């Protein structure tokens, strides 16, 4: 199962890199065109918005699988190790619940946005919002893998 996680991480890292490059180039072209030629590029706002949106949602499963998401660990640092393990499992269960809700809501949101279009690119918002349930499913997968690992460490005493 580890090779599946590694493959997903590599694909997500590549997609994230592409999104960051597209965002950077589009922003540079927009600023350059607007201030040098006094001629804004209308399509660039759509590209920037899509890129930024994809960066956020592609980062979610990538950071979750590496356990590099934002966390406040001051409480975990003062509690006993056994209690910390139980708290980490509870946190993962909460994240799993949130990801399931986000996946279901994101899927409904994606379906409801099929008739909306980006102003300049004329791309349906369905494709833009499709990343929400997709990334949520990957967060669910990553969280389940982390839960299994934590439960094995807790009950089999292998660290």
What is the pLDDT, as a whole number, of residue 53?
A: 92
What is the pLDDT, as a whole number, of residue 157?
A: 67
Above 60 in pLDDT, residue 159?
no
What's the pLDDT tens digit per position in 16-52?
999 999 999 999 999 999 888 888 888 999 999 999 9
Q: How would you class 78 by CB atoms within 10 Å of its CB: exposed for 0-12, middle for 13-18, buried for 19 or more?
A: exposed
User: What value does the mean pLDDT take over residues 99-105?
Assistant: 96
DSSP string, 53-90: HHHHHHHHHHHHHTT-S----HHHHHS-HHHHHHHHHH
Above 80 in pLDDT, residue 102?
yes
Domain count, the chain: 1
What is the pLDDT, as a whole number, of residue 85?
A: 85
User: Positive or negative CA dihedral for 120, 114, 58, 17?
Assistant: negative
- Structural domain containing residue 63: 2-156
């Amino acid at each position: 199962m580890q090779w599946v996680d590694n493959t997903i991480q590599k694909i997500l890292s590549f997609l994230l890199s592409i999104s960051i490059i597209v965002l950077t180039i589009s922003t540079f072209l927009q600023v350059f065109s607007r201030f040098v030629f006094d001629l804004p590029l209308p399509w660039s706002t759509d590209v920037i918005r899509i890129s930024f949106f994809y960066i956020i949602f592609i980062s979610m499963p990538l950071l979750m699988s590496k356990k590099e998401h934002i966390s406040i660990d001051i409480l975990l640092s003062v509690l006993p190790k056994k209690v910390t393990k139980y708290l980490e499992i509870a946190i993962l269960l909460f994240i799993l619940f949130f990801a399931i809700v986000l996946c279901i809501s994101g899927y409904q949101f994606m379906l409801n946005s099929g008739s909306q279009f980006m102003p300049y690119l004329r791309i349906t918002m369905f494709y833009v919002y499709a990343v929400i349930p997709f990334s949520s499913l990957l967060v669910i997968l990553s969280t389940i893998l982390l839960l299994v690992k934590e439960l094995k460490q807790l009950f089999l005493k292998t660290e």
